[in-house]
Amino acid sequence: MSDLYDRDRRANAGLQKLRFFPQAVVGGKGSRLRTDDGRWLLDLSASWGAVSLGHGHPALVSAVTAAVADPAGASVLSSATSPATVLAERLLALWPGAADRRVWLGHSGSDAMEAAVRAARRATGRQGIIAFSGAYHGCTTGTIAVSGHQSLGGDRAAGLIQIPFPDASRDEDGAAILADLSRRLDATPDSVAACLIEPIQADGGMVVPPAGFLSALAALCRRHGILVIADEVKVGLCRTGATHAHTAEGFTPDILVLGKGLGGGLPLSAVIGPAAVMDGATAFAMQTLHGNPVCAAAGLAVLEVMAHDRLDRQAAERGDQLKAALSRLKTRHPIITSVRGRGLALGVELALGPDRRPAAAETARLVWRAHELGLVVYYVGTGSNVLELTPPLTLSGAEAEEAAAILGQAFNDLAAGRIPDDAAAGFAGW
């Protein structure tokens, strides 16, 4: 274990750690991270999808440097500022449509999802929320209360309706889920404020829903006056190969929530929704540094690079390439039971037997070995058995091949029994 990792263990709180192997980094460039012992790791996580442009992108460096040097204050609470206003205008332009919308800026997916849920409850005068089991919407008290991920303890909200997220890779069509929900809503009319939808359920296992399911769910919600909130914190903004992930699922949410990749690695999130909801009150959902010029400038730089370099197309092409390479691995390794996702939001499921029992222990050892071989990849899933690939959207073709080759080596080592049984002991993951 490196000196830095050991010092971190003694200084930084375990409460905020989700560790899979003894990673200790001191710098980064593009798709790579530099470790404290001088190795370069190929980063297939991009800090859980946040580092959308890769590490140290020049556009981000110069935008942030300029914003720190000549700051328009530090907050949007009591002053209009240029970076926050331009960013909001750009975000509105990125989501065309007739609706009169407003933008709320925050620091994280958690604060944005919490603000969206509170605003929806306020606007509708209803308390109920529909959310999916397996869904991770954040780690604040308010978002834990509407999440369904096994890693989150804490109380669930009164009036929470949790429904299963159907999995296209298991040929589930979700019809029974919709029928049950419809009966329930008919029985308790006017009680539900919002329905929280991830277009791909990321932390639940990069689960892709069957075609038409989410659009049917959105239509059902509309009939009951329920606001549809798309949580695109992880898979939004070009990652799936389109500007917004919901377009592939054929529905338009009332409220769109963005985070992670929007800041390119800086703390930034956004809620975009109808003016009637977003202007419904003042001083209602605010934190001192919301809309601060440094993070807003970072967001603007990210959006500019995304548009200029067509990172939507790049994510689609690179994703196809990576998915094809992973599908070839699947033919050689029966433990890989599903390769799924869209663009550069990909999942590789590891399971055993005809009933696809989650291979959690094998997954933990595999990511540990991949790290030893020079690759950063973590796992997600309600069974802790799905590799999550959310690399920088700037990943090159050569890097995609290199990543697949390292993963191939790790799977060979797993199959040949070359990874010690206790390799990942002490790294709990989730």
Task: Supply the residues annotated as catalytic.
Answer: 136
Residue 290 found at the interface with ligand PLP (CB under 6 A): no
Number of residues that bind ligand PLP (CB under 6 A): 16
323 touches 106 (CB < 8 A): no
* Chain residues 21-50 in contact with ligand PLP, contact rule CB under 6 A: 48
Place of tokens 């209009």: 80
Rounded to a whole number of angstroms, the minimum distance from the CB of residue 39 to ligand PLP is 26
200 touches 49 (CB < 8 A): no
Residue 136 found at the interface with ligand PLP (CB under 6 A): yes
Q: Closer to ligand PLP at the Cβ: 54 or 148?
A: 148
Residue 134 found at the interface with ligand PLP (CB under 6 A): no
Residue 137 found at the interface with ligand PLP (CB under 6 A): yes
What are the phi and psi torsion angles at 350 (to 5°)? -110, 120
Q: What's the CA gap between 242 and 235, in Å, rounded?
A: 10
* Chain residues 314-333 in contact with ligand PLP, contact rule CB under 6 A: none
- Nearest C-alpha neighbor of 255 from the set 71, 362, 122: 122
In 198-238, alpha helices (H): 213-223
3-state DSSP of 11-40: HCCHHHCCCCCCCCEEEEEECEEEECCCCE
Q: Closer to ligand PLP at the Cβ: 113 or 366?
A: 113
* Chain residues 188-207 in contact with ligand PLP, contact rule CB under 6 A: 198, 202-203
Rounded to a whole number of angstroms, the minimum distance from the CB of residue 95 to ligand PLP is 18
Q: Counting beta carbons within 10 angstroms of the beta carbon of residue 215, is it exposed (0 to 12), middle (13 to 18) or buried (19 or more)?
A: middle
What is the DSSP track for 54-106?
-BT-HHHHHHHHHHHHS-S-S-SSSS--HHHHHHHHHHHHTS-SS--EEEEEE
Rounded to a whole number of angstroms, the minimum distance from the CB of residue 189 to ligand PLP is 29
Rounded to a whole number of angstroms, the minimum distance from the CB of residue 115 to ligand PLP is 12
Q: Closer to ligand PLP at the Cβ: 134 or 329?
A: 134
Which one-letter amino acid corresponds to residue 414?
L
Q: Which helix (H) or strand (E) holds 227?
A: strand 227-231
Q: What is the chain's alpha carbon radius of gyration, rounded to the nearest angstrom?
A: 21
Q: Closer to ligand PLP at the Cβ: 153 or 189?
A: 153
Q: What's the CA gap between 273 and 254, in Å, rounded?
A: 6
Q: Counting beta carbons within 10 angstroms of the beta carbon of residue 12, is it exposed (0 to 12), middle (13 to 18) or buried (19 or more)?
A: exposed
Q: Which stretch binds ligand PLP (CB under 6 A): 84-92, 105-113, 366-374, 415-423?
A: 105-113
Rounded to a whole number of angstroms, the minimum distance from the CB of residue 1 to ligand PLP is 26
List the x/- string, 223-252, binding to ligand PLP by CB under 6 A.
Answer: --------x-xx------------------
In 12-57, alpha helices (H): 46-49
Q: Closer to ligand PLP at the Cβ: 344 or 410?
A: 344
Q: Closer to ligand PLP at the Cβ: 121 or 224?
A: 121
- Closest CB to ligand PLP belongs to which residue? 109
Residue 110 found at the interface with ligand PLP (CB under 6 A): yes
The residue ranges that bind ligand PLP (CB under 6 A) are: 48, 108-110, 113, 136-138, 198, 202-203, 231, 233-234, 259-260
